[in-house]
C-alpha cells in the first residue's frame, strides 16, 4: 500500500524533530516522491547527464536536504520544493565541474547555492562527501544501492522488496556483508569513520 504523501510542514517537523520513526517516514516520503524525482532527473538530463546520473543526484540531494534542515539552514521564506531543487542544481553543477567528463556550457551560469549555512563548513562537508563517494565506488553496484537505502532508514523488508531479495532476513545478511566490505575499505581512511553513519548503525 502506498504511503500518503506528507505536507512540506510535516516533512520539516519530522526532519528537525527527535522522533526517529517520523524522520524515517519523512525521508521515505521524499525518496518515493515521483514528481520530485522526475524534476531532478529532467534537470540533470537537460544539462548533460543521463537517467542514472539523475537518480544519483536525486538521492544525494535528499541526504544534503536532510542535513541542511537538521542543522538549521532552512529558512521558511520560500517553497520547500524550490529549496530541494536548488540543492539538485548546485550538486549537479559541482559534479560536472569536479568530474570534467562533460562540458559545462559557458552560458550556463553557476546556480545560486541553497541559502543558509557556513560556506567554509559547506565546502568541508562537500569535500568529505566526495572522498566517501570515491570509496563507495569501490563497492559493487548492488552494495552501493543497498547502503544508500540503508542510510535513508529503509527497513529490511523494504530493502528486500526494492532489491529483489527473498525476504528481510536475506536483506539483513546482505546489508551486513556490504557494511563489512565497506569497513575494510574505510579502515584505510580512519579520518572518515565518524562522518559515515552507515558503519555505526546496527542491523
What are the per-10-residue average pLDDT scores of the chain (203 residues)? 68 86 88 92 90 90 85 70 87 72 41 46 54 78 83 78 91 90 77 46 42
* Residue 51 pLDDT: 92
**The C-alpha cell that represents 140 in the structure block:** 559493487
Give me the pLDDT at residue 182, please: 85
Rounded CA separation 175/159 (Å): 9
Distance CA 154, CA 5 (A): 16
36 C-beta neighbours (distance < 10 Å), count? 20
> Which parts of the chain fold into alpha helices (H)?
8-16, 20-31, 34-46, 51-70, 80-99, 119-136, 141-151, 156-163, 168-186
Nearest to 83 by CA among 110, 104, 64, 70: 64
Return the number of other C-beta atoms located less than 10 Å from residue 51's C-beta: 10
Q: Do residues 162 and 194 lie in contact, with contact meaning Cβ atoms separated by under 8 Å?
A: no
**Contacts (Cβ under 8 Å, ≥6 apart) of 132:** 192, 195, 196
Q: Supply the pLDDT for residue 38.
A: 95
Q: What is this structure's pTM?
A: 0.52
Note whether 40 and 88 are within 8 A (CB).
yes
What is the model's pLDDT at position 18? Answer: 83
Distances (CA, A) of 137 to 2, 59, 185: 32, 15, 11
Amino acid at each position: 500500500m502506498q504511503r500518503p504523501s506528507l505536507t512540506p510542514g510535516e516533512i520539516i517537523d519530522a526532519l528537525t524533530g527527535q522522533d526517529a520513526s517520523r524522520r524515517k517516514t519523512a525521508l521515505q516520503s521524499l525518496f518515493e516522491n515521483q514528481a520530485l524525482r522526475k524534476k531532478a532527473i529532467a534537470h540533470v538530463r537537460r544539462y548533460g547527464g543521463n537517467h542514472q546520473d539523475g537518480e544519483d543526484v536525486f538521492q544525494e540531494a535528499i541526504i544534503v536536504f536532510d542535513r541542511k534542515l537538521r542543522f538549521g539552514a532552512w529558512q521558511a521564506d520560500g517553497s520547500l520544493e524550490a529549496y530541494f531543487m536548488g540543492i539538485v542544481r548546485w550538486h549537479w553543477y559541482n559534479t560536472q565541474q569536479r568530474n570534467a567528463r562533460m562540458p559545462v556550457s559557458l552560458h550556463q551560469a553557476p546556480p545560486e547555492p541553497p541559502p543558509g549555512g557556513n560556506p567554509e563548513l559547506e565546502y568541508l562537508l562537500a569535500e568529505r562527501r566526495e572522498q566517501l563517494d570515491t570509496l563507495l565506488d569501490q563497492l559493487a553496484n548492488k552494495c552501493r544501492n543497498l547502503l544508500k537505502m540503508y542510510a535513508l532508514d529503509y527497513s529490511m523488508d523494504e530493502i528486500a522488496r526494492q532489491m529483489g531479495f527473498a525476504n528481510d532476513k536475506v536483506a539483513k545478511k546482505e546489508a551486513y556483508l556490504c557494511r563489512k566490505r565497506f569497513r575494510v575499505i574505510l579502515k584505510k581512511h580512519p579520518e572518515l569513520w565518524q562522518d559515515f553513519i552507515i558503519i555505526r548503525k546496527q542491523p
